[in-house]
Structure 1
Amino acid sequence: MERLIFKNKLSFIGLGLMLFLLSPSFAQNTYSEYKGKVVDARNNRALEYVSLNVLETNISTITNSEGEFLLKVPEAYKDSKIVVALLGYTKKVINLTDLSENTSVIKLEEAYTELKEVNVSAFKDAGKLVRKVFAEKSKTIQNQSVYMTAFYRETIKRRNRNVSLTEAVVNILKQPYTSANRDAVKLGKARKSTDYKRLDTVSVKLQGGPFSTLYLDIMKYPEYIFTEESFDTYRFSFDAPTTVNNRNVYVVDFKPRNKTLDLSYFGKLYIDVETLALVSASYSLDVSNKGKSRNLLVKRKPRDIVVYPLEAKYKVDYKQNRGKWYYSYSNLSLKFKVNKKREIFNKVYTLSSEMAVTDWELNTDDIKIKNKDKLRPTVIITDAISGFSDPDFWGEYNLIEPDKSIESAIEKIRKNIKKEQEKNSLP
Structure 2
Amino acid sequence: MKRFLATFLKKMDAIPAFVLLMAVSLLCSTPALAFQQNQETETDFKQYRGEVIDESSKKPLVFATLSVEGTNISTITNTEGDFLLKVPQNISDGTVLVSFLGYKSKTIALSQLKPDKNKISLVVSVTQLSEVDINAPKDATALVRETLARKGDNYFDDPTLMTAFYRETIKKRRKNVSLSEAVVNIYKSPYGSFRKDAVELYKARKSTDYSKLDTVALKLQGGPFNTLYVDIMKYPEYIFTEGSLADYKFTFDRSTRINDKLIYVIRFDQLETVSEPMYAGELFIDVENKTLTSAIYTLNITDKVKAARLFVRKKPAKVDVWPTEVAYRVDYREKNGKWFYGYSNVLLEFKVDWEDKLFNSVYSMTAEMAVTDWEKNVTGQLPKNRERLKKSIILSDEAIGFSDPDFWGEYNIIEPEKSIESAIKKIQRQLRRARSKGGSAAP
Amino acid at match of 1:279: T
What is the SS of the residue equivalent to 1:128? helix
**TM-score of the superposed pair, with normalisation by structure 2:** 0.88
- Counterpart in 2 of 1:25? none
Tell which deviates more after alignment, 222-231 or 363-372: 363-372
Asked if 1:266 is matched to 2:280, the reply is: yes
Q: Note closer, same or farther for the CA distance 1:246–1:111 as it changes in structure 2 (3 Å cut).
A: same
Q: Deviations over 1:53-86 (max 9, x none)?
A: 0001110000001100000001222210110001
Structure 2 Cα separation of the partners of residues 292 and 140 of structure 1: 36
User: 1-side partners of 2:140 and 2:407: how far apart?
Assistant: 47
How many Å apart are 1:381 and its aligned residue?
A: 2.3
Deviation at 1:99, TM superposition (A): 0.6
TM-score by length of 1: 0.92
Distance 1:29 1:100 in 2: 17
Q: Deviations over 1:120-175 (max 9, x none)?
A: 76321100000000112111011111000000000000000000000000000001
For residues 220-242 of structure 1, what are the alpha-carbon distances to aligned partners after superposition, in whole Å with 9 as ceiling and x for unaligned?
Answer: 11010001110000000001100
CA separation in 2, counterparts of 1:198 and 1:89? 41
Q: Which residue does 2:15 correspond to in 1?
A: 11
Q: For 2:304, which of 290, 302, 308 is the aligned residue?
A: 290
1:324 aligned to which of 310, 332, 338: 338
Q: 1 CA distance for matches of 2:412 and 2:141?
A: 38
Q: Which residue of 2 aligns with 1:355?
A: 369
Structure 1: which amino acid aligns with 2:426?
K
Change (3 A) 1:383 1:372: closer
**Structure 1 portions without partners, runs of 5+:** 1-6, 16-20, 22-27
Question: 3-state DSSP class of the match of 2:90?
Answer: helix
Question: What is aligned with 2:425?
Answer: 411
Following the alignment from structure 1 to structure 2, what is the Cα–Cα distance between the partners of residues 353 and 30? Answer: 30
Q: Number of matched residues? A: 409
Shift in Å at residue 13 of structure 1?
4.3
Match of residue 55, structure 1, among 69, 87, 93: 69
Distance 2:133 2:17 in 1: 40
TM-fit CA distance, 1:103: 1.6
Q: Does the alignment pair 1:253 with 2:267?
A: yes
CA contact (8 A) 1:52 1:84 kept: yes
Q: Give the SS at the match of 2:364.
A: strand
User: Residues 115 and 240 of structure 1 are in contact (CA less than 8 Å); yes or no, is this contact kept in structure 2?
Assistant: no
Structure 1 residue 302: Cα displacement = 1.7
User: Aligned partners of 1:417, 1:361: CA distance in 2, in Å?
Assistant: 37
Is the aligned partner of 1:82 residue 2:96?
yes
Asked whether the equivalents of residues 268 and 282 of structure 1 are also in contact (C-alpha less than 8 Å), the reply is yes
Farther off after superposition, 89-98 or 377-386: 377-386
Equivalent residues in 2 for 1:159-238, closer than 5 Å: 159-238=173-252
Pairs within 5 Å for 1:265-414: 265-383=279-397, 386-414=400-428
Match of 1:142 in 2: 156
Question: Structure 2: how far apart are the matches of 1:165 and 1:292?
Answer: 28
Decide whether the 8 Å contact of 1:140 with 1:324 is kept in 2. Answer: yes
Is the 8 Å Cα contact of residues 194 and 383 (structure 1) preserved in structure 2? no
Distance across 1 between alignment mates of 2:253 and 2:385? 45
1:386: Cα distance to partner?
Answer: 4.1
| Residue aligned with 1:209, SS | coil
Is the alpha carbon distance of 1:394 and 1:80 closer, same or farther for their aligned partners in structure 2, counting shifts above 3 Å?
same
User: Counterpart in 1 of 2:115?
Assistant: 101
Q: Which amino acid aligns with 2:170?
A: I
TM-aligned CA deviation for residue 179 of structure 1: 1.4
Secondary structure of the 1:89 match is: coil
Percent identity over the alignment is: 49
Quote the residue 1:18 is aligned against: none
Cα contact 1:295–1:307 (8 A) shared by 2:
no
CA 1:411–1:259 in 2, change beyond 3 Å: closer, same or farther? farther
Shift of 1:365: 3.0
Q: Counterparts of 1:129 and 1:384 in 2: how far apart (Å)?
A: 43
Residues of 1 paired with 2:13 and 2:251: CA distance?
A: 24
